[in-house]
Structure 1
Amino acid sequence: MVNFNGELVGNEQGFFNHQNRGFKYGDALFETIREVNGHIYFLEEHYLRLMASMRILRMEIPMNFTLEFFEEEIHKTISPNETSPAHRIRFAVYRNDGGLYTPQTNDISYVIEVSSLDAPFYVLNEAVYEVELFKDFYLNTDMLSNLKTNNKIIHVVAGIYAKENDYQNCLLLNNDKSVVEAINGNIFVVIGNLVKTPPLKDGCLDGIIRKKILTMLKDDEVLEIVEESISPFELQKVDELFITNTIQGIVPVTNYRKKEYTSAMAKRLVGRLNALARLAV
């Protein structure tokens, strides 16, 4: 089932038209959320990020768009007959029809989609996971790149490039040729006891799991966590490289060109992330 403005509709039922601004101009935002056994992981963080992003894009936030409403609409969309313990939620918001580049209204509509997940908790996949740089197009170093908008054409083309060349993922660069993120998540590198992730000013997504790992490691007595630009040259020098996102949690990269990575830090963090997720529900 799909939730369209509070009404549950079938997967095959049409409710968009050719005037949809998300389709015509990418005038839309979305949150990808993990739900397990009725609990929404990091609910408040997803809600606050969506509200902040809507304000940045000058969308009109309805008075009833409270945290409680956000949660209730997600639960309503999950079928009571659903047997899977875990779900992937896509909560999309778009500006209503009308206008060309300049909209006629800032009022919004929303669509919630649900799909099943296999594992009820974050599991580290230790299969071969090879990445390569995607250098055809570059991300901008501005606030819009930090938002989870429908403008993901670079990620789409990078995904096609990865598929054509048998890579599991690609790393995206910004106009300064710094490594920014993967197609589907933030990146972290590990050099000894130093953990690095690109800063938001480099144009990476302001990811929920990225924030959690930064907070998790902030007071660690052994590890040092920093937000610093990462050059492509560094990728062949670091001990470890992993990708983070809300659905998969932590994905260790095994290979980049001739470099092979370990996954000790990813293994160490996935248990802490699962514990943090359980505390958050």
Structure 2
Amino acid sequence: MINLNGNIVQDSEANLSVLNRGFAYGDSVFETIRVINGKIMFWEDHYFRMMASMRIMRMEIPSSFSPEFLEKEIVSIVEKNDLNEKAARVRFAVYREEGGFYAPATREIAYVMTVVEMKNSFYLLNTEDYEIELFKDHYVGSGLLSTIKSNNRAVNVLGSIYAKENDYHNCLLLNEKKSVVEALNGNLFLVSGSKIKTPPITDGVLNGIIRKQLLEIIKKTEDYELEEASISPFELQKADELFITNIAVGIQPVSKYRKKYFESTVAKNLLSKLNVKARLG
């Protein structure tokens, strides 16, 4: 079942026009949301990021789009798919109503919510081999548009194809200044001793939900020193650990980059703290 503009319909009946602006121009933003036993994880952060994304895209935010209304819509579509007592992944996409060419005929929006089941209710540490490489064919712009989740993800698509063709599990993206920005599907953290480093939003980093949670956790943990600063590709092989974060997997440790193998001690410690925060939040 799919929520199409507030109407619950069968998958086969959830049809979008070929003139849909999300399809035609990438004129769309989205959130990937984790729902556990009917409870939305980190809902407030998702809500405010979606509202910020819509404002950046100059979309007209409906007066009905209150946190309470959208929370109810998300929980409802999870229940309609019989996943209210399981782990679910909801994709909440907002697109501008069709009309116009590059210049839209309207700023009004419509939305669609889809849901799939996830295996685990809480985050588990993946200790299997996880090798990464740099993707250098195209760059991420260090501007505001790179910080939101929009349908304009060509670099991520091409990077994913590159990773698959070369047997990598993931790739790291660079911005036009040749600084490491993030992974194809999440934010990057680098560990050297007690220092944990992650690129700043100003480098073109996606304003990730789990990134935000970890920044708060690390700042409250005396064992670690947090630094938000640009990361050079030369720093990667000098690190003790590298890990990637996103809402689906939580924390994914990197086991190998080129000739360097990495530990996952800090990633494991932070993952346990993240699960505690998720339960309480």
TM-score > 0.5 by shorter chain: yes
Uncovered stretches (5+) of structure 1, i.e. residues with no partner: none
1:209 corresponding residue in structure 2? 210
Matched, 1:68 2:100: no
Matched, 1:51 2:64: no
Displacement after TM superposition at 1:220 (Å): 2.3
1:264 corresponding residue in structure 2? 265
Question: Structure 2 matches for 1:119-158, cutoff 5 A?
Answer: 119-158=120-159
Give the conservation status (yes or no) of the 8 Å contact 2:38–2:78: no
Matched, 1:34 2:34: yes
Return the letter of the residue paired with 1:3. N
Displacement after TM superposition at 1:39 (Å): 0.5
Return the letter of the residue paired with 2:211. R
1:15 corresponding residue in structure 2? 15
Return the letter of the residue paired with 2:194. N
2:276 corresponding residue in structure 1? 275
Give the conservation status (yes or no) of the 8 Å contact 2:147–2:205: yes
Question: 2 CA distance for matches of 1:231 and 1:41?
Answer: 33
Question: Structure 2 matches for 1:54-203, cutoff 5 A?
Answer: 54-80=54-80, 82=82, 85-203=86-204
Displacement after TM superposition at 1:14 (Å): 4.2
Give the conservation status (yes or no) of the 8 Å contact 2:126–2:252: yes
Question: 2 CA distance for matches of 1:149 and 1:119?
Answer: 27
Runs (4+) of structure 1 moved beyond 3 Å? none
What percent of counterpart residues are identical? 55
Query: Helix, strand or coil: the match of 2:11?
Result: coil
Query: Helix, strand or coil: the match of 2:189?
Result: strand
1:241 corresponding residue in structure 2? 242
Spell out, residue by residue over 1:4-37, the C-alpha distance to the aligned partner (whole angstroms, 9 max, x if none). Answer: 0011111122421111000011000000010000
Matched, 1:255 2:224: no
Change (3 A) 1:184 1:221: same
Return the letter of the residue paired with 2:221. D
Return the letter of the residue paired with 1:204. V
Query: Helix, strand or coil: the match of 1:134?
Result: strand
Moved more, 51-60 or 193-202: 51-60
